[in-house]
Chain A
């Protein structure tokens, strides 16, 4: 579990102070994957570096599994660092060491014997799917393989928290998927709390339970991905969902015989059951005709999520929308479309 409270970081530069983080609050429950997303310069890396104990906060508190990280020094600082696995932004492998020797570095720092280290490094490279690359040097590996070695190294000393700064930014979509899958596995199988810094919405969709949006050093949104998706006014939720509009819907409305819907609404539904059966049940219960005007289905952190634009024809159209809302759908009437 990571807790960040009122975290502020100001850099003093020649051209005046730079407020990289402003009273940032963030909580990542144990075993979950959280994304920190935002534009370049928003403060994402600074936040990750503060938690990684590479940067001293100007003020505020950071707690990892109950341990207060602020103000640590010497041996206590080094011990705390061992609790936190870090995959830094960019290439961070030792280029004169083999993959296995890179993974061993944290174990050397922890004072383990050569035998233990070798065994653990072999196990970890196996975990990240690089059992056959133990003796390869970083320059003999692909970008995705290097990133996997970096993740294996970050996990070597069995940290309870893993921080990854832009772990997929230099990778193609397929390699990105495999790295995300690995991070997902790390949190679900090993119970590690994972914080991923990214500017890629796809990373949030595929691998994250929660997300925090940074803008100019402020957290402007923070919450569970599936909660945010269901909130009509969440910008990140909207960005994660398929759009309500679709070519199909427009063509339908421009057709020769437009159907006079009593109501048109945008609907967000979350979960297997809801996506599969909700609309059918609504239509049979209320003897209503429900047309799909647009939208689509997405899978967000493993859960099917849909945004549909629907047109309703019924004796009591509002009752249909109310019933949908009562049964877990988020309903936004699109007033301009009423009786198109």
Chain B
């Protein structure tokens, strides 16, 4: 009896689409919300543009608590919230909610670290031009760390790819769902290994694309080394 490749390929195509959809959508949300969060953490830090010790501590603590939760816990804990937002707690679209909520603090911390790399005298030079804080954030902090930020988006996307597979545990759709349902629970090793392989290839491609983009926009000489 020969293996039903046609069915598997069809399923792989559908679930790859679902996975990409989940990763893409949650990365976009993570970037949109995580960037301001990272800026807030950086700017309110003791030596930041606008030191606010209390805000810095409180926001930092919330970020770390969310980040320390295992994703599965977040997934289960957020079922009600997900239902309220997208009308269901099953499927790819439903998975986006916990994925994004988990990724926002993750990306926020990455942004904070990347911004910290900007040389203090560069920022001071900008301060002495009489630029507003908003202008310094836009034209100096974000612009100077653009390569690092692009790389951070890549790291986040790859992390979300992994979490999206976990979302499959609870019927979240995507390649993880296929690997668990058809592969593991259905004793279909071909399906299991194929979905894992496709996940790996997507991870490699994501990493390569973002690293390449980060290097392409970097004007520093050391970037070539």
Q: Which residues of A contact B (CB under 8 A)?
A: 52-54, 78-82, 84-86, 88-97, 105-106, 108-110, 137, 139-140, 150, 153-154, 157
- Is B131 part of the binding interface, using a Cβ–Cβ cutoff of 8 Å? yes
* Residue pair A139, B129 in contact (C-beta under 8 Å): no
- Is B59 part of the binding interface, using a Cβ–Cβ cutoff of 8 Å? no
Closest to B136 in A: A109
Q: A94-B140, A95-B219, A137-B219 are in contact. Are A106 and B124 (CB under 8 A)?
A: no
Q: Known A-B contacts: A53-B128, A86-B124. Give 12 more (CB < 8 A).
A: A78-B130, A79-B130, A81-B129, A86-B125, A89-B121, A92-B124, A94-B143, A96-B218, A106-B129, A108-B139, A110-B129, A157-B129
- Is B127 part of the binding interface, using a Cβ–Cβ cutoff of 8 Å? yes
Bound CA span A157–B129, Å:
8
The one of A81, A88, A95, A153 in contact with B130, judged by C-beta atoms closer than 8 angstroms, is A81
Q: Which residues of B contact A (CB under 8 A)?
A: 119, 121-122, 124-132, 135, 139-140, 143-144, 146-147, 217-222
Closest to A89 in B: B121
Q: Which residues of A contact B119 (CB under 8 A)?
A: 90-92
The one of A80, A85, A96, A150 in contact with B144, judged by C-beta atoms closer than 8 angstroms, is A96
* Residue pair A91, B144 in contact (C-beta under 8 Å): no
Q: Which residues of B contact A140 (CB under 8 A)?
A: 221
* Residue pair A105, B131 in contact (C-beta under 8 Å): yes
* Cβ-closest 5 pairs across A and B: A106-B129, A109-B131, A139-B221, A82-B130, A86-B128
* Residue pair A88, B219 in contact (C-beta under 8 Å): no
The one of B125, B132, B139, B218 in contact with A78, judged by C-beta atoms closer than 8 angstroms, is B132
* Residue pair A109, B122 in contact (C-beta under 8 Å): no
**6 CB-based A-B contacts, threshold 8 Å:** A54-B128, A84-B128, A93-B125, A96-B217, A105-B139, A109-B135
* Residue pair A95, B220 in contact (C-beta under 8 Å): yes
B155 CB, nearest partner CB in chain A, Å? 20
Closest to A93 in B: B122
B126 CB, nearest partner CB in chain A, Å? 6
Closest to A79 in B: B130
Q: Which residues of A contact B222 (CB under 8 A)?
A: 139
